[in-house]
Amino acid sequence: METPVKLIVGNWKMNGLTPALDEAGALRQALEADPVNARVGLCPPATLIAPMASTLGAGPVELGGQDCHDKDSGAFTGSVSAPMLADAGARLVILGHSERREGCGETDADVAAKVEAALRAGLEPIVCVGESLETREAGQAVAFVTAQVRASLPDALKERTFAVAYEPIWAIGTGLTPTLDQIAEVHAAIRAALVERVGEAGHRAPILYGGSMKPDNAADILAVPDVGGGLVGGASLKAEDFIRIIRAA
Ligand code: PGA
């Protein structure tokens, strides 16, 4: 079977003012000058999506949001809907990031409703799962993550294109990463849960690894069986670092 191309997505989180568009422009230029055999995405804060759509144009970098509301419009002050992301030029959307699950109290059911909203708007969801250090130390990482997969993915995904990101919470922004064996173990378990949950679509969906992915560890992590790409936070803010990760794919 042909190996599917990797999906490498940058998550800028709440970072980036207008001058940061230059980093997106530099990324586009670098990938146009020397193309890679990978899909590349950037998810800036909502305020930069529309201007970044101009920066990225029809080039090789896909654009995404970092969250969306589960309703398409209405009286939800401060929220951004999936149709709004699509209207601004996004094609992807990160959903269920641990910073939203923990910081904003999002449950698996909330995430599933957001995934449905994203699909209605024609966006490709990247659904995040991952255990805390406490859960890992209790030997429950696989059970916890597979339960999140089952409960965060709606039936509507059966016919659709989507990705899952395994992001151990204790690895995010800490410089710590799981061992390659630990990554392989969780990715295999996620694959099995995906297939059980959504059938054929679960075989196709890339499973990204996220959490302190850097230029110097990306090649090893991306070579682990069933690691279909990366979700990169801090190291995606500078085009120079992000390109080194992308070239490792
Ligand atoms: P990090 O973040 O690469 O800065 O650890 C990853 C993420 O939270 O998506």
Task: Provide the 3-class DSSP secondary structure of residue 41.
Answer: strand
pLDDT in tens, 183-210: 999 999 999 999 999 999 999 999 999 9
Tell me what pLDDT residue 159 has: 86
Rounded CA-CA distance 137/7 in Å is 30
Closest CA to 68 of 117, 120, 14: 117
* Continuous H helices in the chain: 21-33, 46-56, 82-88, 98-103, 108-120, 133-137, 141-152, 180-198, 200-204, 218-222, 239-247
Distance 244 CA to ligand 1 centre (A): 16
Q: How far apart are CA 224 and CA 23, in angstroms?
A: 29
Mean pLDDT of 32-38: 97
Question: What's the CA gap between 101 and 22, in Å, rounded?
Answer: 31
> Which protein residue has the closest C-alpha to ligand 1 atom 9?
233
Distance between Cα 3 and ligand 1 center (Å): 25
Is 167 a known active-site residue?
A: yes
The Cα 108–Cα 144 span in angstroms is: 12
200 tagged catalytic: no
Count Cβ atoms below 10 Å from residue 42 Cβ, excluding itself: 29
pLDDT digits (tens, 9 = 90+) for 41-100: 999 999 999 999 999 999 999 999 999 999 999 999 999 999 999 999 999 999 999 999
Alpha-carbon distance of 101 to 193, in angstroms, equals 20
Catalytic residue among 62, 97, 99, 187: 97
Its pTM surpasses 0.95? yes
pLDDT higher than 90, residue 1: no
Residue the block writes with tokens 């994203």: 118
